[in-house]
Amino acid sequence: MTTEALLSVTSSRIVLFSKQNENSFGESLIRLASGKRVNKPSDSIPDYFFSEKMLRDSRSYATVLRGIGEGMAFMDVAVSVGEQVFNGIVDLREIVRRYYNEETTADEKDALQADFSAQQDTLIDSIASSTYDGARIVSDNGGAPFKSIALDDGAGTHKMELSFDSGDVADLSSLTLGATDEATEAAAVEAELEKAGSYLAKAGAYMRGLNAHYNLTTTKILTTRSSAERSVESDTGEEMVRAMNYSIRNRSSMAMLAQANMYRTSVVRLLGW
C-alpha cells in the first residue's frame, strides 16, 4: 500500500470516528434537553411501548375523571335542592305545631296559614325549577338511571347510576293547614319530611361515592403518568458524563484529522507529489 493510500485510509477512519461521535453527542444532547433516554422506538422498544401504554391509560382515566366531575356537579345541585326542601318542610312542621297551639289567636292563625301557603309554593317552585341539562333533578324517574357515570377506563362495565323513585321525592302539593285536624296534617308533613330525608340521604351517598372514585381515579392518573415517565426518563448526571465523553472524542478526532492532514502535506512536499 502506497503512502498516499495509507494516509487516505487513516483520514477516512478518523472522519468516520468523528462523525459517529458527533451523532452520538447530538443524541445525548437531545436526551438531556427532553429529559428522556427513550424518544423513539429504536431507543428501546419495550420501554417506549410500555410508556405509550401508560400514557393511553392515563388519557382514558382522564376521560373517566371528567365524567365523574360532571356527576359531582350534578349531585352538588341535587344535594343543595334536597337540603332546601328538607329545611323547608321542617319549617312547615313548625308552622303546623304553632297553628294548633291553644294560645294561638285567630289573627295569628291567619298569618300562619299565609306563611304556610307561601312556604309551600316556594318549595314546589324550587323542586320544579331544579334542573340539570334540561331535566328535573328532584323527580321520580321510576328507578331508571337519571344519569349514568362510567367508573372504568372505557370498558363500560363499571358504572354508578344516579336515580330516585317516588319514595325519595316529596309531594308538597297535597299538604294543608286548617283544613282537617292537627293529627292528620302533622302526619302528612312528617311523611313528606321522611321522603325529603330519604332523598337527601341517597343524594349524599351518591356524592360520597363519586368523591371516592374521583380521588381513586386521580391517583390512577398520577400513577400511570409517573410509570410512563420513569420508564423513559434519563439519568441527567449519567447523560451529562456521556455527552462530555462524546464531545471529548469528537474534538480529539478533529485534532487527529488536522494532524493527519498536516502530515500528509509534509509527505507530499517531501516526495514532490
pLDDT computed for residue 120 by the predictor? 93
pLDDT grade for 161, boundaries at 50, 70 and 90: confident
Report, as an integer, the average pLDDT of 254-267.
59
Q: What is the pLDDT of residue 188?
A: 95
pTM (whole model) above 0.75: no
Please give the Cα distance from 93 to 84 (Å, whole number): 14
Q: Output the nine-digit C-alpha cell for 194.
A: 321522611
Read off the amino acid at residue 46: P
Q: In this predicted structure, what is the pLDDT of residue 87? A: 94
Report, as an integer, the average pLDDT of 180-195: 94
Which pairs from 181-187 meet CB under 8 Å and 24+ separation? Answer: 182/96, 182/99, 182/100, 185/96, 186/93, 186/96, 186/97, 186/100
Which residues lie below 8 Å from residue 189, measured CB to CB, with a gap of 6+? 89, 92, 93, 96, 175
- Residues of the chain with pLDDT > 70, as a percent, come to 62
Please indicate whether residue 56 or residue 20 has the higher confidence score (pLDDT).
Answer: 56
C-alpha cell at 202: 341517597
Containing 169, the helix (H) or strand (E) segment is none
Annotation: CATH topology of 45-232: f41 fragment of flagellin, N-terminal domain (1.20.1330)
What pLDDT was estimated at residue 181? 93
What's the average model confidence in pLDDT over 229-249? 60
- The residue ranges of every structural domain in the chain are 3-35+235-271, 45-232
102 DSSP 8-state letter: T
Query: If you ran DSSP here, which 8-state letter would residue 233 be given?
Result: B
Greater confidence (232 vs 120) lies with 120
Q: Is pLDDT of 116 > 50?
A: yes
Mean predicted lDDT score pLDDT of the chain: 77
Collect all residues with Cβ–Cβ distance below 8 Å to 40 and sequence separation of at least 6. 48
Enter the C-alpha cell of residue 120. Answer: 309551600
Q: What does residue 100 show for φ and ψ, rounded to 5 degrees?
A: -95, 10
Cα 136 to chain centroid, rounded: 27
Higher pLDDT, 246 or 56: 56
Q: List the single range of 99-113, 219-233, 253-267 with lowest mean pLDDT.
A: 253-267
Residue 135 or 151, more confident? 151
State pLDDT tens for residues 148-160: 888 876 555 688 8
Average pLDDT estimate for 219-235 = 75
Q: Phi, psi at residue 136, to the nearest 5°?
A: -70, 135
